[in-house]
Structure 1
């Protein structure tokens, strides 16, 4: 499909990046492409750490360098590391979504090969992404053979992304624990309406795994990541 996904650009101003976190390792290559790089933010620990694999939203001059400092501070304090990865910087058409999904797989392959070098526990992975980031990470979060413990998506799967495909078809009975967090209330005319999250919630219910899905809405921009650290701790630390 070649139709432009204009809304992913139109509503990208919702991104709540603010001050950028400083990575421990910057622009590490995970592939041969110009945009095949990632940043690593390592929490200090004597043991391998859980890791959040995060993809940014669309936006002018927004890249994987824009992982929010405030979000990193909360994760770091909880002993959780982060990988922020780059791909096609702004998704505007279906072919770019497909490339982003291929890059997601490449990132996960890289992680599976290099986790020991960075003191990361490859069996405690949480996938995250905002808007664009949720679109290119969603299929892999549900299917990739690395031991993914959960997924936390912000402003997830905006309206026009559904013209690429029906994302409910990516979900199976083995799909991970998942959170979707939205700034607006249900029924919002914003392109990032939580009504899109409700589609995913309904599919989880149909498959009998409703207890694995949580939808947060009406959080405002500042609250979008407010549940992330607690969620990662729950799915990676608690037994």
Structure 2
């Protein structure tokens, strides 16, 4: 009895580590393997959870172990199977998506989930609670993979372009999958937030005369949701906006194929163009969709001993967006979770999307 009670408590702790508290769901987090202190404490108790035996327990490994333990207790993990799984939307191996179709006699709105992971990791596994809420509200959901940056051939903004291509593909399936192509929103955390904003703010990438019918579809969307999103991926601007060593995040260097701080902070004209093209805020104009943004990382100046990359989800990114969006009179919501006790950003984001969808005629 005591052992079973211990397992149940451990499952609850695993659920918190895997799915996060309600104010900051797991898809808000950078899914690149991180030495999360809570997860590492669990690793000492459950060494078998470390599937690849690398000494670091990731959220994906904790999630898989939790499912395994629940099955042993006869409590299957609450998940929804995709209506269509691993559907290719492009040529690359990671150009695949899952689609979850809501039950409706009428074409449904669509919410597209884009995962985080520093552009080098992550999974299209959707938070099951949010997924079910969308489906219950008559909103279909898609979740995508995209190319990872490699510092050589795949640099920013190629992951963003993959995200835009996925939106075009989904619109091309509107009739077959009962989607309303006029009501589409994108959301994600960290890198997924950056991709979502880039799609939302960038000029339409549709090519009406293309031989590829997918390329003829619009990339414009009706709403964007973000968790810990970066308004810019320009290391010079990140240094000015956040301070500390946030701009030294490993993914920033890899995203542009640079090896040194000197290269990152003194770009060539061609490199600066890539910085600008990759940063969502550089594309922001008054005709862009509303944005719902959530930040949870520590506020204020970064400590003198800050680690490289620390502060990469700083709320100053959101404040920068609020300032410019207010100037352009674009609707936006900024939530800083430590100051938003009693609120449920996950539920509010869905309501925000529904509000925007209702405006579409």
State TM-score, norm by structure 2: 0.56
Separation in structure 1 between the aligned mates of residue 313 and residue 286 of structure 2, nearest angstrom: 26
- Is the 8 Å Cα contact of residues 187 and 224 (structure 2) preserved in structure 1? yes
1:49 aligns with 2:108: yes
Aligned length in residues: 227
1:122 aligned onto 2:178: no
Report matched runs for 1:179-190 at 5 Å: 179-184=292-297, 186-187=299-300, 189=302, 190=311
Q: Which structure 1 residue ranges, 4+ long, deviate > 6 Å from structure 2?
A: 10-13
Alignment check: 8 A CA contact 2:31 2:59 kept: no
Take 2:33 and 2:110, find their aligned partners in 1: how far apart are those partners?
Answer: 30
Which structure would you say has the larger Rg? 2
Q: Secondary structure in 1 aligned to 2:297?
A: coil
After the TM superposition, which residues 155-234 of structure 1 pair with which residues of structure 2 at under 5 Å, given as runs?
155-157=228-230, 161-163=233-235, 164-165=275-276, 166-184=279-297, 186-187=299-300, 189=302, 190-207=311-328, 209-210=329-330, 212-218=331-337, 223-234=344-355
Post-superposition offset of 1:235: 0.9
CA offsets per residue over residues 3-38 of structure 1, 9 Å max, x none?
A: xxxx9958796x988676532210001011111100
Q: Which deviations, in whole Å up to 9, do the C-alpha atoms of 1:118-160 show, x marking residues without a partner?
A: 101000001112111122232221133445211111111178x
State the Cα distance separating 1:61 from its structure 2 match: 6.2
Q: Tell me how far apart the structure 2 counterparts of residues 124 and 200 of structure 1 sit (CA, whole Å).
A: 23
- Aligned-pair Cα RMSD in Å: 3.2
Gaps of 5+ in 2: 1-29, 37-57, 64-76, 205-217, 236-274, 303-310
Q: Distance in 2 between matches of 1:12 and 1:196?
A: 24
CA distance in 2, matches of 1:192, 1:127: 19
Choose between structure 1 and 2: higher strand proportion.
1
Q: For residues 61-111 of structure 1, what are the alpha-carbon distances to aligned partners after superposition, in whole Å with 9 as ceiling and x for unaligned?
A: 6311x111011011111111111111024x575943311122122112212
